[in-house]
């Protein structure tokens, strides 16, 4: 936990890209240092920027409901974003900003060592899925190295476009079975260069 705490302090001091100049504070992430599940969203919004915590606005309330649907709470998962400072006016993060923040995200993943990374939205989806539409691959897990990546729509999408809400709810319900099936996966048996599409469900 000490290593993760030090990393959080370093993120608070980060000036690796321009976003720190306009943000109120960094939003490193929160959760147990040994979490099996890591949820990765896009970037802080207004409320997150004010409080320094991830997913505390309307999308965060929906995320709480989604976690409750699988008998989990925030205390069971680590929650963070690909971007640690709020982009002005909630605009999309730019490629150089994503690149600068990737360093911190990689450090978080290395320290927490989650079994499952749930990507929320198209920007975090790029960690494991490129050149594809989230509409096509959401809810389909893929193992890369020792980690299974599970792409979902961002909760904000379910709020702004109600047709996505059912998809988000259905995808969330798959997570317990994915975790259960991970027990049967040999973490050293896969070539990291050959991502494995999992047929778990």
pLDDT tens digits for range 168-188: 999 999 999 999 998 665 444
| Per-residue pLDDT, 184 | 63
Domain with 109 in it: 2-181
pTM here is 0.90
Q: What CATH number does the domain containing 112 carry?
A: 3.40.470.10
Residue 102 belongs to a domain: yes
> Number of folded domains in the chain?
1
* DSSP H or E segment with residue 181: helix 175-182
Residue 75 belongs to a domain: yes
Residue numbers in the chain where pLDDT is lower than 50: 186-201
Residue count (the chain): 201
DSSP category for residue 163: G
The whole-angstrom separation of Cα 192 and Cα 188 is 9
Residue 107 belongs to a domain: yes
| Per-residue pLDDT, 2 | 80
Quick one: which of 127, 114, 102 has its CA closest to 76? Answer: 114
């Amino acid at each position: 936990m000490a290593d993760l705490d030090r990393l959080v302090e370093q993120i608070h001091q980060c000036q690796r890209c321009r976003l720190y100049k306009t943000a109120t504070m960094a939003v490193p992430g929160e959760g147990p240092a040994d979490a099996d599940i890591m949820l990765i969203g896009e970037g802080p919004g207004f409320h997150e920027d004010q409080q320094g915590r991830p997913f505390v606005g309307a999308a965060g309330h929906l995320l709480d409901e989604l976690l409750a649907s699988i008998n989990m709470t925030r205390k069971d998962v680590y929650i963070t974003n690909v971007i640690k400072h709020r982009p002005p006016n909630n605009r999309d993060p730019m490629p150089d900003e994503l690149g600068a923040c990737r360093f911190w995200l990689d450090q978080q993943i290395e320290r927490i060592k989650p079994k499952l990374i749930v990507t929320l939205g198209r920007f975090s989806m790029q960690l494991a899925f490129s050149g594809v539409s989230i509409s096509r691959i959401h809810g389909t897990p893929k193992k890369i190295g020792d980690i299974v990546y599970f792409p979902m729509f961002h909760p904000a999408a379910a709020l702004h476009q109600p047709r996505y809400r059912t998809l988000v709810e259905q995808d969330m319900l798959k997570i317990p079975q994915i975790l259960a099936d991970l027990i049967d996966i040999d973490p050293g048996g896969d070539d990291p260069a050959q991502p494995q599409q999992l047929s778990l469900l």
